[in-house]
Amino acid sequence: YNLIYLKFRGRLSTLKKGRAAKMICTFAGHREVFGLSQWPVVEALETLLSTEQELICYEGGMGEFGRLCACAVRTLKSRHQDKRIRLILVLPYMYQRLNTDGEYYRKNFDEVIVLHELAQVHYKKAVTARNRWMVDQADQLIALVWREHGGAWQTLQYAQRRGKHSVSIKRKENAPDGA
């Protein structure tokens, strides 16, 4: 995998060999998914991919929903080997686990981005800033949000204020209330 440190300003250039990315997607969801499978996310991604040859997915690496989305992207990659699909992990700061578990990251992500300008930001604010950066880069947000507080809700609200198109994934009917 490629570990890339980026400055926080502006939209990330996704040009490679003269071609621009067709669709950039990111995800926002509460940490718990309560038994939700990857298939609603796969379906949403399939819809995006139906009109595109290239899909770049930014994933934040936090919580069950993030892992579920990463799994959905990997499923899509195996189904559509004729299309260019990339899964990029975007971290708000450097983690020691990038060094200790490097093989995991090389196997599961096409790239890992650590946002350089967030290095001096308090870790809780860095996560919010990273989420906003991912929304700013994206054309599409896929969200699992059922309560009106927390980072996922704030990210969805930010995306709506920025005029980003979003797809809401519904949680299971029997999921615990208040969670």
114-166 pLDDT, tens digit per residue, is 998 888 888 879 999 999 999 999 999 999 998 899 999 999 999 999 999 99
CA 53, 92, 30, 150 torsion-angle sign: negative
Residue 166: name the closest of 47, 70, 38 by CA.
Answer: 47
Q: How many CA atoms lie within 13 A of 81 on its CB side?
A: 1
- Lowest-confidence range among 7-11, 18-22, 73-77? 7-11
Burial class (CB in 10 A: 0-12, 13-18, 19+), 128: middle
Q: What is the mean pLDDT of the chain?
A: 84
